[in-house]
Amino acid sequence: MPRREVTVQGPLQATPRDIEEINRVFSGAFTERYHRDGMAGVKVPTLNPTVWRYAIADAADGALLWRDDLGHLAAFNMIHRSGVEGWMGPLAVRTDCQGSGVGKGIVREGIARLKEAGAKTIGLETMPRTIENIGFYSALGLRPGHLTVTMAWDVYPGEDRPAPGGTVPDWAEASRAAGELAERLSPGVDFSREFALTEEASLGGVTVIQAGAGADAFALWHTVALAEARTGDELRVLKLGATNERSFTALMLKLQEEALSRRLRRVSVRSQTAYDWAFGLLLKIGFRVHWTDLRMTLAGYEERLVRDGVVWSNWEI
């Protein structure tokens, strides 16, 4: 049967008061997506409200939602910008509003805002096996690129394994060094908001491999659980930079120490496979493939790959 016509109001500014509604739309939309892909047993959990608060704060005035004529949440789009890098996610449309044009509207709004803000890269990530999604975004001007492969390294398999003492970084110094390295490797990229929000909400930490007075590699990571009502058991990397294979490997080993010091079971990273040498090093170290996403960018606003080294920016929360 054809979808009913849907009238929505928006975009409206999302706030933490909207998290419960956002969570319901998120879980329902993605659960249906998996079912339509043949995975009937999958139910996508609601996300940790702390994670949503971070996403809303990170998106700032790009945290947008749309409501139907009864005032109920119909769709949302979290539009992020880290300097010249712009991306959208999570975004979702309520299941009964899909096919009505609402989805096209929220993506177009995100693209327009990122262009206006001066973003040089505009993109998002979607499920690589879902041809409907790829076709939908392609019709809006986005083009498929490389995979983002979620990879995990189990570093704490036993409850009785002793943990060494942890380190508490000087946030101001660590974030300064990391920010300078990110700018040097990928001019115009600015992760300062992510560093500040992580510190303010005590979501995780930053690890820096020093090289003289500066940094040779860095990682911004969270330990807060993604799913609601679950405990955190992993160190999850959001932003990463390294100058070469040596510093990248040193960073991974340091992240293992960080996980051990917090008695976490694993380190997880989202490897952008355009940097094939880094993907290969992760496999060599012992990381295992857990999940894949397809990176898509707007035509004319593609990612600028680092020539010497690597910068990974997680386009998820």
- pLDDT (mean) for 191-212: 94
Q: How far is CA 242 from the centre of its chain?
A: 19
By C-alpha distance, which of 288, 183, 197 is closest to 238?
Answer: 197
Residue among 112, 120, 88, 97 at smallest CA distance from 6: 97
Query: What's the token pair of residue 30?
Result: 């993605």
Cβ contact 203:92 at 8 Å: no
Q: How confident is residue 144, by pLDDT bands cut at 50, 70 and 90?
A: very high
Spatial distance between the Cα atoms of 204 and 181, rounded to a whole number of angstroms: 20
Q: How confident is the model at residue 226 (pLDDT cuts 50, 70, 90)?
A: very high
In degrees rounded to 5, what are phi and psi of residue 259? -65, -45
pLDDT at 163: 45
Q: Is the predicted pLDDT of residue 2 greater than 80, yes or no?
A: no
Over residues 153-178, the pLDDT tens digits come to 998 655 444 444 444 468 889 999 99
> Are the C-beta atoms of residues 271 and 279 closer than 8 Å to each other?
yes
CB 232 within 8 A of CB 264: yes
Is this model's pTM higher than 0.85 or not? yes
Kindly state the greatest CA–CA separation across the chain. 66
Report whether pLDDT(5) > 80: no
101-113: pLDDT as tens digits: 999 999 999 999 9
Render pLDDT for 33-80 as a digit per residue (tens, 0 to 9). Answer: 877 767 777 788 899 999 999 999 999 999 999 999 999 999 999 999
